[in-house]
């Protein structure tokens, strides 16, 4: 599977390494060249320096024949817009965006263009469950 | 009208100033404290400090009762987010976005944000106009309506010179309401003959732009 990832932060780099090790064809985009150090020395994929909301940069990462696009830069707005470009301009079959803001997540989920992941809601749910789980002292 | 401007840079500031003069209710949303201070010192209490792409801030700004939202930050992704949230979450009827990278115009249009202003495009159009024998200059494109206003300058060696408008093969879905000759406007009719350096303004269906371009570009002898 050909996967393009936007954002080489902790999550982007982690995913990139994992997909790369599993034998997938990975390209990762980031605005800062230092961030690529997170990929380690054994990363086999492609790295592309630039902004993820530019069609030319996305093309350079091979988005035209990508099976999946993952937007996990540290900006919700960038992720939403990059995901929209991936879907509407390049027709990427699977598009996933990380959105920190739960309200934005709801809005973009309803739009139906992309799958969204909201770490705020996920972590909140998990922590809530942990402290309210049966057996926990009141 | 209640107009919310997101982005308190130069564009946002001067826009607010003019709209206030026209007695509209205006609110600028700006992240930067220094910019907020300057705006409120100059224009009064018309600033809300905060991230205008954040739904909580949008709510505080009274987005739900806004008649128009104008997104003029320096970042296209922020302007897109503002307009999309304004449209989908707050039902704001009119949304206008500034675009920095002209290529992003298409994305905004695909997402239903059809009122966009691209400074880069405006400057480009100005440059196009200065270059002789250049093809069509776009004055205004109404993509949803499928119509554009274009201008073409008749090159000195054009085959259309001396021809009557009625004798040109102008497509049916295209009209020429104005010719500018030596700086003066002429409302043409079928008998009007074209001269070198005429600036021909046309209203045309988008599909027919190519035909016009060939007709006035001086590239073929189709006329």
B214 pLDDT tier (thresholds 50, 70, 90): confident
User: Above 50 in pLDDT, residue B220?
Assistant: no
Q: What is the pTM of this model?
A: 0.74
Quote the CA–CA distance of B79 and B97 in Å, as a whole number. 6
Average pLDDT, integer, range A104-110: 91
Write out the residue range of the structural domain in which residue A109 sits: 2-132
Contact of B107 with B46, CB cutoff 8 Å: no
CA–CA–CA angle B209, B211, B212 (5° rounding): 65
Least CA distance to B58: which residue of chain A? A103
Any B CB within 8 A of A76 CB: yes
Is B208 within 8 Å of chain A by CB?
no
Q: Does A53 touch chain B (CB under 8 A)?
A: yes
pLDDT in tens, A13-54: 999 999 999 999 999 999 999 999 999 999 999 999 999 999
Max Cα-Cα span within chain A = 56
In this structure, how many other beta carbons lie within 10 angstroms of the beta carbon of residue B140?
9
ipTM of the prediction: 0.84
* B223 pLDDT higher than 50: no
The token pair at B205 is 């269906």
Using CA of residue B142, residue B145, residue B146, residue B152, what is the dihedral sign? Answer: negative
Q: In whole angstroms, what is the distance from residue B63 CA to residue B56 CA?
A: 10
Q: Which pLDDT score is estimated for B222?
A: 36
- The answer to whether the CB of B150 falls within 8 A of the CB of B202 is yes
Contact across the interface for B77 and A53, Cβ inside 8 Å: yes
Q: B-chain residues within 8 Å CB-CB of A88?
A: 107, 110-111
Q: Is residue A83 part of a domain?
A: yes
Structure tokens that stand for B162 in this block? 């001396």
Q: Which two tokens stand for residue B88?
A: 């989908």
Average pLDDT estimate for B82-106:
91
CATH of residue A101's domain is 3.40.50.720
In chain B, CATH 3.30.70.1450 covers 131-217
CATH superfamily of B131-217: Regulator of K+ conductance, C-terminal domain (3.30.70.1450)
Distance from chain centroid for Cα B132: 23
CA atoms of A46 and A61, how far apart (whole Å): 7
Sheet arrangement for strand B184-186: B137-142, B147-153, B199-205, B174-181, B184-186
Of A54, A78, A111, the CB nearest to B88: A111
* Interface residue A85 vs chain B (CB under 8 A): yes
Instruction: Summarize the confidence of residues B125-132 as an average pLDDT.
Output: 69
Residues of A in Cβ contact (< 8 Å) with B54: 101
Q: For residue A97, tell me if it sits in a domain.
A: yes
How far CA B172 is from CA of A35, B211, B216, in Å, comes to 57, 11, 16
The alpha carbon of B137 is separated from its chain's Cα centroid by a whole number of angstroms, namely: 13
Q: What is the pLDDT of residues B167-193, one digit of tens each?
A: 888 899 999 999 999 989 999 998 999
Q: How many CA atoms lie within 13 A of B135 on its CB side?
A: 9
Which of A128, A126, A99 is CA-nearest to residue A113? A99
Minimal Cβ distance to B110: which of A55, A56, A88: A88
CA atoms within 13 A on the CB side of B155: 18
- Which positions 26-45 of A are in contact with B (Cβ < 8 Å)? none
CATH number of B2-122: 3.40.50.720
Q: Which of A128-137, B7-16, B36-45, B66-75 has the lowest mean pLDDT?
A: A128-137
Token output for A40: 């380690």
**Chain B stretch 18-47, residues whose beta carbon is closer than 8 A to a beta carbon of chain A:** none
Can you list the positions of beta strands (E) in chain B? 2-6, 25-30, 47-49, 68-71, 94-99, 115-118, 137-142, 147-153, 174-181, 184-186, 199-205
Distance (Å, whole) CA A64 – CA A81: 17
Kindly report, as residue ranges, where domains of CATH 3.40.50.720 are found in chain B.
2-122
d(CA B150, CA B161): 19
Is residue A57 situated within a structural domain?
Answer: yes
Residues in chain B with CB shorter than 8 Å from the CB of A78 are 77
Number of domains present in the structure of chain A: 1
What confidence category does residue A59 fall into, taking pLDDT thresholds of 50, 70 and 90?
very high
Compute the C-alpha angle B6/B9/B12, nearest 5°. Answer: 50
pLDDT band for B152, please (50, 70, 90 cuts): confident
Does residue A51 fall inside a structural domain? yes
| Most trustworthy range by pLDDT among A22-26, B112-116, B210-214 | A22-26
B107/A contact by beta carbon, under 8 A? yes
């Amino acid at each position: 599977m050909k996967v393009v990832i936007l954002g080489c932060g902790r999550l982007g780099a982690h995913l990139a390494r994992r997909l790369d090790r599993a034998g997938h064809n990975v390209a990762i985009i980031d605005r800062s060249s230092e961030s690529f150090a997170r990929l380690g020395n054994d990363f086999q994929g492609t790295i592309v320096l630039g902004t993820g909301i530019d069609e030319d940069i996305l093309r350079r990462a091979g988005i035209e024949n990508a099976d999946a696009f993952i937007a996990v830069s540290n900006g919700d707005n960038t992720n939403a817009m990059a995901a929209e470009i991936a879907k509407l301009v390049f027709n990427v079959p699977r598009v996933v965006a990380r959105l920190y803001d739960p309200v934005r997540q709801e809005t973009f989920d309803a739009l139906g263009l992309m799958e969204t992941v909201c770490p705020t809601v996920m972590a909140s749910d998990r922590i809530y469950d942990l402290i309210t789980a049966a057996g926990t002292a009141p | 009208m209640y107009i919310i401007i997101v982005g308190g840079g130069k564009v946002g500031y001067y826009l607010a100033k003019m709209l206030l003069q026209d007695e509209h209710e205006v609110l600028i949303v700006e992240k930067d404290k220094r910019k907020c201070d300057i705006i409120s010192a100059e224009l009064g209490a018309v600033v809300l400090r905060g991230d205008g792409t954040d739904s909580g801030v949008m709510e505080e700004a009274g987005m739900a009762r806004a008649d128009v939202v104008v997104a003029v930050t320096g970042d296209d992704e922020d302007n897109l987010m503002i307009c999309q949230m304004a449209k989908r979450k707050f039902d704001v009827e009119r949304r206008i976005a500034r675009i920095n990278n002209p290529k992003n115009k298409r994305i905004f249009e695909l997402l239903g944000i059809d009122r966009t202003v691209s400074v880069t495009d405006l400057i480009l159009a100005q440059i196009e106009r200065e270059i002789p024998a250049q093809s069509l200059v776009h004055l205004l494109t109404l993509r949803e309506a499928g119509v554009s206003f274009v201008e073409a300058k008749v090159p000195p060696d054009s085959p259309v010179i001396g021809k009557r408008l009625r004798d040109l093969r102008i497509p049916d879905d295209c009209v020429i309401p104005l010719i500018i000759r030596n700086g003066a406007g002429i409302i043409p009719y079928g008998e009007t003959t074209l001269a070198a350096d005429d600036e021909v303004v046309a209203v045309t269906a988008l599909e027919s732009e190519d035909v016009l371009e060939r007709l006035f570009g001086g590239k073929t002898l189709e006329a």
